[in-house]
Amino acid sequence: MAYEDASLAQGNVVTVYRESLRLRLERFPWWFLVILLVTALTALIITTKSTYTEAFSFIRAGLSVTIMTTISAYFIALTLGMITGLGRISRNVVFKNLATFYVEVVRGIPMLVLIFFIALVLVPAVTSSLNTLGERLSAAGLGGLGAFFSSVTNKGVPMQLRAVIALSVTYGAFSAEIFRAGIQSIHKGQMEAARSQGMTYGQAMRYVILPQAIRNVLPALGNDFISMLKDSSLVSVLAVRDITQVAKLYAGQTFRYPEAYLTLAVLYLSMTMLLSLGVKVLEKRFQSS
């Protein structure tokens, strides 16, 4: 290989050089450069123009809510997705149907509607049935537990928690499909080999199938995180003060729409770009080994 390269270079130094330059220009990620420029330009405007500086510092206050909502909902969704994914391929009829029911219902409802429904219908329904349960328990003489259940009020569940629940439930269904596909991508011989050694289904899953499956779906799960970050903006409809909500508030108060929404858009864009770079690195690392 090295020898071939050397002989090639000796004869056609100039053409090889030109070829590679052209190729490099063609392959160069120009789109990324443009994004970088736009981001840098916006950053420059934010630091120099006072209205933008004000908008940015106002919106920045929502950053922790956005990040915390995304991270906590993501990890709950992963857990939910793993369990549901296993359910989808389970031979247990009840488990399988429950899992499929959940996935199909979530996939058939717009995320925005689901967020309204979970936060404003499901959570109140659960708290009120807990209250009823609490009253019954108190009446049955279990005062301590009864009082605890009775004390759970609808208002006691903050909107941010409801937002996290709603996002988790939605993304749990998405990641369930990722896990299912990942598990099914593993050759059935792996399960056979493990079972032939006397492992139970659960042991084979845990020690043989899942480690391989999860590795295969890491990039997809990473992309899910990015989507989750973007979709977390939907929780602003619950008046949760994430960056979208505070940007909306800022724009409403000041009527400075470009300041509010350009800053907001670039804020999301720089976060997602950074994350997708991370996913690409992850992908490369797992492809090579």
Partner 1 sequence: MSEEENIIVIRDVSKWFGKVQALRKVNLSIRRGSVVVIIGPSGSGKSTLLRCINHMEVEDEGEILIDGQQLPRSEKLINAIRADIGMVFQHFYLYPHLTVLENITLAQRIVRRRSKEEAERIAREQLNRVGIGEKADSFPAQLSGGQQQRVAIARALAMNPKIMLFDEPTSALDPEMIKEVLDVMLDLAKAGITMVVVTHEMGFARAAADEVVFMDEGQIIEQGEPAMVFDHPRHERTRFFLSQILHK
Of 7-15, 45-53, 156-164, 187-195, the window that binds partner 1 (rule: CB under 8 A) is: 187-195
Distance from CA of residue 192 to its chain's centroid?
A: 33
Site for partner 1, residues 209 to 268, rule: CB under 8 A: 211-212, 215
Candidates 11, 189, 255, 287: give the one binding partner 1 (CB under 8 A). 189
Nearest CA-CA partner of 122 in 89, 79, 168, 76? 168
Candidates 98, 130, 199, 282: give the one binding partner 1 (CB under 8 A). 199
Structure tokens at 26: 């063609």
- Nearest approach in angstroms of CB 206 to partner 1 is 9
Give the CA distances from residue 289 to residues 163, 205, 208, 216, in Å, rounded to whole numbers and listed in that order: 38, 22, 17, 12
CA distance linking residue 40 with residue 143, whole number of Å: 61
Q: Which is nearer to partner 1, 82 or 165 (CB)?
A: 82
Candidates 190, 223, 254, 276: give the one binding partner 1 (CB under 8 A). 190
Q: Does 195 bind partner 1 (CB under 8 A)?
A: yes
Q: Does 193 bind partner 1 (CB under 8 A)?
A: yes
Helices (H), the chain: 2-11, 13-27, 30-48, 50-60, 63-88, 93-107, 111-117, 123-139, 143-151, 159-184, 188-196, 201-204, 210-231, 243-254, 257-288
Q: Does 287 bind partner 1 (CB under 8 A)?
A: no
Of 159-167, 174-182, 204-212, 225-233, the window that binds partner 1 (rule: CB under 8 A) is: 204-212
- Contact set with partner 1 (CB under 8 A): 187, 189-190, 192-201, 203, 207-208, 211-212, 215
